[in-house]
Structure 1
Amino acid sequence: MSVPSSEVKPLTFRRYKDGDTKVRRWQDEIFDADHSHKCPTYIQSTPPCQGSCPSGEDIRSYLNIVRGVEKPPKDVTWQEYAWRRLTEANPLPSVMGRVCPAPCESGCNRNQVEDFVGINSVEHFLGEWAIEHGLKFVAPEHKTGKTVAVIGGGPAGLSTAYQLALKGHAVTIFDERAELGGMMRYGIPGFRTPRDVLDAEIQRILDLGVQARMNTRIGTDITLEQIQQQFDAVFLGMGAQSGRPLPVEGADAPNVVTATAFLKAFNDGRLQHVGQRVVVVGGGDTSIDVATVARRLGHIDQTHEADRPELAIAGDTGYAAHDAAMLSRRQGAEVTLTSVFAVEKMQASKHEVEHALGEGITIRGSMVPLAVVVGADGRATGLKVAQCEAKLVGGRLEIKPVEGTEEVIEADLIVSAIGQAVDFSGLEALNNGKGAINADKNYQVAGQTGMFCGGDVIRPHLLTTAIGHGAIAAEGIHRFLQGEALDKRPKIDVHSFDLMRKLVEKGLPVGSIEEPLRGTDTSTGAVHNFDNRSDRYVIPHKDLFLGHFNYTERNKRKVVSLSAEEALSNFEERMLPLLEAQAQAEAKRCMSCGLCFECDNCVVYCPQTAVFKVKKSQSTTGRYVDTDYNKCIGCHICHDVCPTGYIQMGLGE
């Protein structure tokens, strides 16, 4: 969360904060006075933003492109070059730039200075720019002749199809819905993911030659065995689109519904209003979506038996009635959201919670549902709750109600947003008994060669997690189709900056490495004194020279905040992208953790003039400076003043 500038204490430290008296061993600093066996090495590491990104985006790279450090090839704009680097991992940046809760920003080392870099907002900007300028993915010229069936057209399935199509495989997506998108279309409301944006990003994937068979459910319309006979490999990405009912007495009342059913009915256009009093049980982003939709729909002043919201949610006769009901005057609904966790500890994104409160939604934390109160007609009239203490014990959630605090919250509609489940109808053999599918690190289904999975069928999580699963599974499928062994996945499984690719772009020679010769300055197969440790090391803030970075306020997107009255019937998008200058300014706040951003500190401060700039004709991102070891005495000053931790003291003579 942003810190007001008036409360920020200016940074006055270099390597250590004021008052830090920790002394390092002098033997580790200066060795034999005039020479040392430790000299500068250039170590590429994974920044914590990228290590925290479930889809493994090369965040640092596209921010460096936006800020102008990494230059695009000739005749390519920086916007397109950054977008292409971003979409190597995530083909849906405009959608994710809006709805991803951005765990990357929580991990950002800039939080140690003043505030995180607005990574999500730069992603949003690039996604919008690409749509406005009609950018397309480039299909490969070579086709492999292999076929892959992707079951489920949500983020996991779309990500897998995209990556496989880029590798030259023929992909067909099967989905039981009328349109692709999964929970991005049928779960998240349109004022968070505009449908024209979602359609544009999905169409790019289809333009690669990906086929889609809609309204086709596996296990009902076609069996999994038939799919396996027709295709060389299969990916299962069905998603968790079945909601979990409340585990309390009375939860089978007709006006007690799940969040997934509620949101699908709204996104399908069936649900046009809710009751006067709505209670949502949850605490995550989905529960916030339900509450804000209910606040916008409101209730109508003239209701009839056929106007009940549960009928529209169930897909019964209520659809026509709701359509006619729009002629009545819409009024606000009283929306209450309850969570077993305290409000400040709920899983929902903090800014979404703030918007919900601003829109007049009541959020009551530390409340556990005890029972649904049912009236004489069998419909719910309220939810009995009690204050509670909730904590995780050994990975299990323990909830202890506080005696004597019971009360009833009156309700015309109760929505359960306590979790989602995969519907295994027709695919029961794949269920591991816990509502998921067992898979290895390559996401190959246990005991099923050539069958892979990803997304919620492994564990319900974020949309960006499903995208990451899809990319890893696609790589496994590709290796399987090529007849190659499925290798052990790296410890840090992300898309990394490729220095060798930059050398190729520059037209510099790149040869092969012949063991045991490695790292020599005469070989074109390796870059002298450079090592890429991105697959195994995330660089922490303590390895940076934080004193280099001044306080710089974050460039924030404009987010439309609504009052309770303004929210009613308002289905316009709330979040607007950054302007181009703002996106560039925000990217400049990136500290480029673990990779050089060409600040010249090491060259300026080296007392021996041992560190020097590489000739312009031979330099590129990550290869901006080098070391003359005949001059270097191992004094470590370059390491101390390196803002990004790219320079480490390594062994060498």
Structure 2
Amino acid sequence: MRVTTTSDDLFHLRRTNLELMLSDHNAYCQPPCQVDCPTHIDIPGYLELIAQGEMKEAARLVKEVLPFPYILGLTCPAPCQQACRRTLVDEEIAICRMHGHAAETCLLDAPLPYVQDPPTGKKVAIVGAGPAGLSCAYYLALRGHYCKVFDMQPQAGGMLRYGIPEYRLPKDMMDRELDQVWQLGVDLQSNVKMGRDFELNDLFAQGFDAVYLAIGCWTSKSMRVPGEDAEGVVNAIRFLYDKVEGKPVPVKEGDEVVVIGGGFTTFDCTRTSLRLGATVHTTYYRTRADMTATAEEIEDGIAEGTHLQVRSAQQRILEENGKVVGIEYQRTKQGEPDASGRRRPVPIPGSEFTIACDTVIPAVGQAVDTKVLDDASGVKWTKWKTIQTNPHNFMSDREGVFAGGDCQIGASTIIESVAQGKLGARSIHSYLMGEDMSEVARRLELEERRPDLFDIVPYKPVEPKVKMPMLPYEKREKSFALIEMGYLKEQAQREAARCLQCACPAAGQCDLQKYSIEHGLADNRFHDGEPSDYHDYDTDLSHSFILRDPNKCINCTQCVRVCHDVIGPDCYGMFGKGFNTIVSTPFNVSLHDTDCVSCGACVQVCPTGSLMMAERSLSRYSFALDRCIFCGDCVEVCPHGALGETPNFELSFFNRFGEDVTLEKNDLANAPNYLVRQRLPRGKKDLPVMSPLVRPLPARSIRD
């Protein structure tokens, strides 16, 4: 007889069965915050370390995927916090500020995420020393590749240095973190611009094996209104650049300034102008909710003194003798949604009004300078004037040339650029190692897909959020001091401890996850309803050693069989009918109220993490050796092999206080006293005699 175990038909059959299992698998492998973070930091992991006071280890964990946790702690728009499930209890956790705090404590002695690989002999040229380019260099250097960064500015950092004001990101602190890139052996050549000082072909002629283009978006977009060339219209990027460089800027005390736009650059220009003593109006043609700046940034701008005008579309710049004297606006209302999903602004006839001013700073978007690449480069541009690449492995139309950051995805946030740099480094490393780039693209595409998520019921009590201490608004006037004053260690620990620890403990060891990845199941055709259409079972946390989450159960019945056929207590069974069938305890009582012997065999066979061992806080177990009858039951049921029989002695075990304890027959009559008096190391003789009873632990939550 011939048995076929692999075929196209079997693959699709297994895939369909997996989809059916996942259709009511009310759980997720990664917590929503980690999924929404572009770099996918292990957020529950580092928050738990911070809560324990392990700041350096927390920073090390973050740096596995985010090389600049201090910088991003101050500048990231925090998409992770918008997904934080703590909001189902009270307020979201200050996720970004937590890793910023951890990194700040060890800036002068920063940990590496892992040991740097030995040199590979491969050379990579990176054009652009912004967040994408430096992130790519950091991770490539860790893999043993030599990297040289070319940048048109005098100093590294890109928009981190020249586009973010000092009150948000102190440059001396930023440089301390950027120094960690150079310490890995990365070289920097400043004041050289592609297209002016060298061409792409020159880099390959110099012996580089690959090139990563991270040239950013340094060109301001036009407003396309009359009067835009008048004196007093200031380039937003140039304005911020000159302020950072200490050069004269066209805004001074008493000026009337209008800043146009709704993004981060808009409010950086707004708040910088306020600190220079100007009266500032900030205008935007859509609603406040449509602004891409964070709510916190907008609120701070208003509190610091800007006059915010929304639903106001600029029509023309008014000028006299070639100088700006005001702007004419027209009110708008919301129309039908456009291609982005936002409702299109529609002008309201007869609603025109004017704002008098002498300076206008348009911050309506940024673009890539396409002149940096000539036709001989072999690199093509998209219709949006970004570099055309494979969307998953980031290789351009020319082999060996990769691109990432703003020049590849358009003007974006810092965290998105860092994520691009990290993925670019992975792809370039695979290319240098001779891997099939189509397979690399497939693998990265699968990893970056967003899974379905549910609002699973949290199990934590209300705990007030620990607010970041901020510089008072009255002290911000004409001051560029850092506005975030920082957490104390105990404050950071208390805030980090609020984390619900949503991560599945079985992630990485779950058979369902493993087979789903093997069968390409990032999307599920049977999983398209509302969360209310799926089961939402209560988690059973009553047992001292075993946690039971029915939401992760796929009704494989392995726990039923091992408990009934191997161990014997018969704690589980199949209950319900049809779609409502579920593995549960008899009469759905808590596992604590069954005949469970805490052997953990059900946990060992569970393929999805529906059954998990609880974290144990005991340092030693209490038992009475003089009552032992040598039945061997403990040896038989222990799933971890922690107990065993020996041929020479009646009972042997390992003492956690430092010595092996072996008891012979003549010792057993007085075993507890014998242990304390004879076998414990020096300094432990005042310990109490072990209790002859084992008491179950009280019910507790997963992370208590």
Q: TM-score, normalised by structure 1?
A: 0.72
**Residue 115 of structure 1 aligns to which amino acid in structure 2?**
E
1:361 aligns with 2:309: no
The corresponding residue for 1:199 is: 175
- CA distance, structure 2, for counterparts of residue 115 and residue 641 of structure 1: 32
The corresponding residue for 2:387 is: 437
Q: Kindly state the Cα deviation for residue 88 of structure 1 after the two structures are TM-superposed.
A: 0.8
1:91 aligns with 2:28: no
**Residue 470 of structure 1 aligns to which amino acid in structure 2?**
G
- CA distance, structure 1, for counterparts of residue 466 and residue 310 of structure 2: 32
The corresponding residue for 2:142 is: 166
**CA deviation vs aligned residue, 1:104-128 (integer Å, no higher than 9, x gap):** 0001111112111110121111121
The corresponding residue for 1:556 is: 467
1:412 aligns with 2:358: yes
Worse-superposed segment, 481-490 or 81-90:
481-490
Q: Kindly state the Cα deviation for residue 55 of structure 1 after the two structures are TM-superposed.
A: 2.0
**CA deviation vs aligned residue, 1:333-390 (integer Å, no higher than 9, x gap):** 11000011223442211111111111111111110000011212x1211111111125
- CA distance, structure 1, for counterparts of residue 48 and residue 477 of structure 2: 42
- CA distance, structure 2, for counterparts of residue 375 and residue 87 of structure 1: 54
Worse-superposed segment, 349-358 or 58-67:
58-67
The corresponding residue for 2:224 is: 247
1:58 aligns with 2:45: no
Count, aligned residues: 506
The corresponding residue for 1:532 is: none
Question: 1:1-16, aligned counterparts within 5 Å?
Answer: none
- CA distance, structure 2, for counterparts of residue 58 and residue 610 of structure 1: 25
- CA distance, structure 1, for counterparts of residue 106 and residue 545 of structure 2: 44
- CA distance, structure 2, for counterparts of residue 357 and residue 470 of structure 1: 34
Question: 1:256-275, aligned counterparts within 5 Å?
Answer: 256-272=233-249, 274-275=251-252
- CA distance, structure 2, for counterparts of residue 124 and residue 604 of structure 1: 33
The corresponding residue for 2:30 is: 46
Distance of aligned partners of 1:373 and 1:43 in 2 relative to their CA distance in 1, 3 Å threshold: closer
Root mean square deviation of aligned Cα: 3.1
Bigger radius of gyration among the two: 2
Distance of aligned partners of 1:387 and 1:581 in 2 relative to their CA distance in 1, 3 Å threshold: same
Question: 1:176-215, aligned counterparts within 5 Å?
Answer: 176-215=152-191
Q: Kindly state the Cα deviation for residue 492 of structure 1 after the two structures are TM-superposed.
A: 6.2
Worse-superposed segment, 263-272 or 117-126:
263-272
Distance of aligned partners of 1:370 and 1:449 in 2 relative to their CA distance in 1, 3 Å threshold: same
1:605 to 542, 550, 553: 542
1:349 to 282, 294, 306: 294
**CA deviation vs aligned residue, 1:198-249 (integer Å, no higher than 9, x gap):** 1011101110000001001011101111112321000010001111122101
The corresponding residue for 1:339 is: 284
1:586 aligns with 2:570: no
Question: 1:320-335, aligned counterparts within 5 Å?
Answer: 333-335=278-280
Q: Kindly state the Cα deviation for residue 176 of structure 1 after the two structures are TM-superposed.
A: 0.2
Counterpart contact for 1:248–1:371, Cα < 8 Å: yes
Q: Kindly state the Cα deviation for residue 426 of structure 1 after the two structures are TM-superposed.
A: 3.1
- CA distance, structure 1, for counterparts of residue 93 and residue 197 of structure 2: 47
**Residue 555 of structure 1 aligns to which amino acid in structure 2?**
V
- CA distance, structure 2, for counterparts of residue 90 and residue 639 of structure 1: 45
**Residue 363 of structure 1 aligns to which amino acid in structure 2?**
L
The corresponding residue for 1:25 is: none
1:457 to 399, 404, 407: 407
**CA deviation vs aligned residue, 1:74-93 (integer Å, no higher than 9, x gap):** xxx82221111101111111
Counterpart contact for 1:443–1:454, Cα < 8 Å: no
Q: Kindly state the Cα deviation for residue 395 of structure 1 after the two structures are TM-superposed.
A: 2.6
**CA deviation vs aligned residue, 1:602-647 (integer Å, no higher than 9, x gap):** 78535xx99489xxxxxxxxxxxx99644441444799999xx984
Counterpart contact for 1:243–1:261, Cα < 8 Å: no
The corresponding residue for 2:599 is: none
SS at match of 2:610: strand
Q: Kindly state the Cα deviation for residue 491 of structure 1 after the two structures are TM-superposed.
A: 5.3
SS at match of 2:350: coil
- CA distance, structure 2, for counterparts of residue 226 and residue 640 of structure 1: 70
Distance of aligned partners of 1:43 and 1:146 in 2 relative to their CA distance in 1, 3 Å threshold: farther
- CA distance, structure 2, for counterparts of residue 61 and residue 353 of structure 1: 31
The corresponding residue for 1:426 is: 372
**CA deviation vs aligned residue, 1:442-488 (integer Å, no higher than 9, x gap):** 34334211111111012211100000011111111001000011221
**Residue 560 of structure 1 aligns to which amino acid in structure 2?**
L
Counterpart contact for 1:343–1:363, Cα < 8 Å: no
1:568 aligns with 2:477: yes
**Residue 584 of structure 1 aligns to which amino acid in structure 2?**
Q
Q: TM-score, normalised by structure 2?
A: 0.67
SS at match of 2:234: strand
Distance of aligned partners of 1:437 and 1:132 in 2 relative to their CA distance in 1, 3 Å threshold: same
**Residue 216 of structure 2 aligns to which amino acid in structure 1?**
G
Worse-superposed segment, 410-419 or 166-175:
410-419
The corresponding residue for 2:429 is: 478
RCO higher in 1 or 2 (8 Å CA, sep ≥ 6)?
1
The corresponding residue for 2:203 is: 227
**CA deviation vs aligned residue, 1:48-80 (integer Å, no higher than 9, x gap):** 101111122221221122234xxxxxxxx8222
Q: Kindly state the Cα deviation for residue 256 of structure 1 after the two structures are TM-superposed.
A: 1.0
Query: What stretches of structure 1 of length at least 5 have no aligned partner?
Result: 1-36, 69-76, 299-332, 495-534, 614-625
Q: Kindly state the Cα deviation for residue 569 of structure 1 after the two structures are TM-superposed.
A: 2.1
Counterpart contact for 2:284–2:313, Cα < 8 Å: yes
Counterpart contact for 1:636–1:649, Cα < 8 Å: no
**CA deviation vs aligned residue, 1:490-510 (integer Å, no higher than 9, x gap):** 55646xxxxxxxxxxxxxxxx
Counterpart contact for 1:243–1:421, Cα < 8 Å: yes
Counterpart contact for 1:355–1:561, Cα < 8 Å: no
